[in-house]
Amino acid sequence: MQNEEIKQPQLTTAKFFTSSFCLQHSAFVLIAILALAIRLPQLGFRPMHTDESINAFITGKLLAGEKYHYDPQDRHGPVLYLLAKPVAQLCGAKNLSDLTETELRLTPVIIGSATVLLFGAAVEMFGFIPCLIAALLFAFAPLPVYYSRYFIHETFFVAATFGLIIAGWRAVKNNSVFAAAMAGLCAALMLACKETAVIHFFALGVAAVACGPTALKKYFPAPKILLAATLTFLVGGILLFTWFGQNWSALADLLRAIPNFAARAGGQGHEKPFSYYFSILDPQFIFFLVAAAGVYAALCAAIAGTRRTGLLLAIYGFLIFLIYSVIPYKTPWLALNFWLPLALLCGLGVEGVWQQFKSSTGRWIVGLAVAALVLTAGEQTKTLAFDHPADEHNPLAYAHTTDDILGLPVRLEELCRERKIPVPRIAVVAKDAWPLPWYLRKFSNVGYWQPGTETGAANFFITPTDVSGALAEQLKDYRPEFFGVRPNVLLILWTPAETLPAHE
């Protein structure tokens, strides 16, 4: 009896480690580790985009002990800062001036890599091969790699969206209150990442209904499921937006954000043609072709009644692609929202083709084609995310800060040393000073003024190229030095006319 008790767990453990479940999930863990390894190098190499520098500034304030206040004027929700703050603290940062690009970008890197694990959790929903292919594409393709190394909200948003899809499906299928609560939490995280979550809620709702009235009737969530999801969504959302009850006005501000985002959707300088996301996602149309096979496979499976989740995904993906494409406001990082359904549909497409080939030769060809697809994506990733991450010809580097700005703080330090100014007073007079607050964070005495306002005396002035009025008169004896901020955007460092030390 004793021997049996001892042997039993050994057999169970052995079975577990050789079971397909364990092997399958090990594959996703391995891909996630590879995704992390790819995302980590040279995190501080690319200059900080304006949006990243604003997010860094807010994170720096939180590190310094200030409370988070939701700003309805295009600042999005608090999830990014909530996750970035402890990571930065673990790295030893106490305020903005302590922060580095690497410390900030580490958070999206971790989340982006962890998203790969979610494909392992979605095997039951979409199948092993589709999830494996999608995980590979998410781990190595340029779009997810590039924006997993970018200190903005998109990577978190996509992870929460995937979490909502998986948890929501499990809640309905298994009648699980826990899964429903997780779905509600994921929905709250989505909204607290970006207010555009409502577009995704709408698309997922329509997709669920369109999957078939019969299925909807069969799987319509029980009241306890709906209640659990709604409660966690409300509680989670309120806690996040009010910064855990410290700022209740955020709830009213959330409503005030609606007209701002409606106006933003109109473009505000970011208008792009309807076809823009095609060129960002897949200029060669290879992935779209494979995904089209996935849509066909999903339709066949839904008609045959074997699996409806592929159809749900296809409808959701099509709807958000359509809505985002119709909205004039477009930026390349929004395309990450489509990469999730596109990668999974590619996986379904590959599985569909795989099943058509019964011979081992045919399946080898499919396997080699997939390997070539992933390698091609990896090669593009190398070019776009590592070799030329801020190049103006890189479609993912949108209105990006140029390398030249890195020389500005170096030049200021050089001038301060030469002129023996220990704490320089720097006056930045510009309508849009970003990302200067990031690059001047080591200087303790920097002020930012809007054009036309009185700045008082300063050791150095920084302005755009169109200086006018009293400031132009004030700077007439100063020497200008140009620094590039973004393509076609220059700033001038004005130094009092003395003999200047030469550029190093």
Q: Which stretch binds another protein (CB under 8 A): 68-76, 127-135, 177-185, 365-373?
A: 68-76
In whole angstroms, give the CA distance from residue 115 to residue 121. Answer: 10
**According to the binding rule CB under 8 A, does residue 69 interact with another protein?**
no
**According to the binding rule CB under 8 A, does residue 214 interact with another protein?**
no
Query: Pick from 276, 316, 30, 23: which is nearest to 162 by CA?
Result: 316
- Helix residue spans in 40-196 (DSSP H): 50-63, 79-90, 101-121, 123-126, 128-140, 142-148, 154-174, 177-193
- Sign for the CA dihedral angle at 410, 413, 415, 418 comes to negative
**According to the binding rule CB under 8 A, does residue 259 interact with another protein?**
no
At 463, is the secondary structure helix, strand, or coil? strand
Among 34, 69, 74, 451, binds another protein (CB under 8 A): 74
Among 117, 121, 235, 270, binds another protein (CB under 8 A): 270
**According to the binding rule CB under 8 A, does residue 66 interact with another protein?**
no
Among 69, 75, 363, 419, binds another protein (CB under 8 A): 75
Tokens of 344: 């999974």
Among 116, 433, 467, 471, binds another protein (CB under 8 A): 433
In whole angstroms, give the CA distance from residue 480 to residue 56. Answer: 29
Binding to another protein (CB under 8 A): which residues in 337-396? 392
Q: Which stretch binds another protein (CB under 8 A): 4-12, 111-119, 264-272, 353-361?
A: 264-272
In whole angstroms, give the CA distance from residue 60 to residue 79. Answer: 15
Among 31, 39, 46, 50, binds another protein (CB under 8 A): 50
**According to the binding rule CB under 8 A, does residue 465 interact with another protein?**
yes
Binding to another protein (CB under 8 A): which residues in 470-489? 479-484, 486-489
**According to the binding rule CB under 8 A, does residue 81 interact with another protein?**
no
Q: Parallel, antiparallel, or unpaired: how do β-strands 460-464 and 478-486 relate? A: unpaired
Question: Which residues neighbour 297 within 8 Å (Cβ) at sequence distance 6 or greater?
Answer: 310, 348, 349, 351, 352
Smallest separation (angstroms) from another protein to the CB of 431: 8
Residues 364, 365, 371, CA angle at the centre, nearest 5°? 90
Query: Pick from 78, 104, 193: which is nearest to 435 by CA?
Result: 104
Look at phi and psi of residue 258 and say left if phi exceeds 0, alpha if psi is from -120 to 50, else beta: alpha
Tokens of 423: 């704490």
Asked whether the beta carbons of 203 and 250 are under 8 A apart, the reply is: no
Smallest separation (angstroms) from another protein to the CB of 254: 17
Among 56, 125, 240, 446, binds another protein (CB under 8 A): 446
* C-beta of 419 vs 479, nearer to another protein: 479
**According to the binding rule CB under 8 A, does residue 330 interact with another protein?**
no
**According to the binding rule CB under 8 A, does residue 449 interact with another protein?**
yes
Q: Which stretch binds another protein (CB under 8 A): 17-25, 106-114, 175-183, 263-271?
A: 263-271
Among 447, 452, 472, 473, binds another protein (CB under 8 A): 447
**According to the binding rule CB under 8 A, does residue 121 interact with another protein?**
no
Smallest separation (angstroms) from another protein to the CB of 278: 19
Query: Within its chain, how far is the Cα of 33 from the centroid?
Result: 19
Residues 458, 461, 465, CA angle at the centre, nearest 5°? 160
Q: Parallel, antiparallel, or unpaired: how do β-strands 446-449 and 489-496 relate? A: unpaired
Smallest separation (angstroms) from another protein to the CB of 43: 21
Q: Which stretch binds another protein (CB under 8 A): 22-30, 71-79, 183-191, 215-223?
A: 71-79
Among 140, 150, 434, 439, binds another protein (CB under 8 A): 434
Total binding residues for another protein by CB under 8 A? 47
Among 379, 387, 432, 473, binds another protein (CB under 8 A): 432
One-letter amino acid of 131? C
CA distances from 44 to 215, 238, 438 (A): 49, 34, 13
Query: Pick from 171, 175, 178, 200: which is nearest to 187 by CA?
Result: 200
At 310, is the secondary structure helix, strand, or coil? helix
Question: Which residues neighbour 454 within 8 Å (Cβ) at sequence distance 6 or greater?
Answer: 470
In whole angstroms, give the CA distance from residue 107 to residue 381. Answer: 20
Q: Which stretch binds another protein (CB under 8 A): 62-70, 86-94, 102-110, 495-503?
A: 495-503
**According to the binding rule CB under 8 A, does residue 62 interact with another protein?**
no
Among 259, 266, 452, 501, binds another protein (CB under 8 A): 501
Query: Pick from 301, 389, 406: which is nearest to 345 by CA?
Result: 301
* C-beta of 170 vs 400, nearer to another protein: 400
Smallest separation (angstroms) from another protein to the CB of 197: 18
* Partners of residue 446 on adjacent β-strands: 426
**According to the binding rule CB under 8 A, does residue 80 interact with another protein?**
no
**According to the binding rule CB under 8 A, does residue 268 interact with another protein?**
yes
Among 269, 275, 304, 477, binds another protein (CB under 8 A): 269
Residues 393, 44, 340, CA angle at the centre, nearest 5°? 65
At 41, is the secondary structure helix, strand, or coil? coil
The interface mask with another protein, positions 389-428, x = CB under 8 A, is ---x-----xx--xxx-----------------------x
Among 54, 132, 191, 250, binds another protein (CB under 8 A): 54
Binding residues for another protein, rule: CB under 8 A, are: 50-51, 54, 57, 71, 73-75, 264, 268-270, 331, 392, 398-399, 402-404, 428, 432-434, 436-437, 445-450, 465, 479-484, 486-490, 500-503
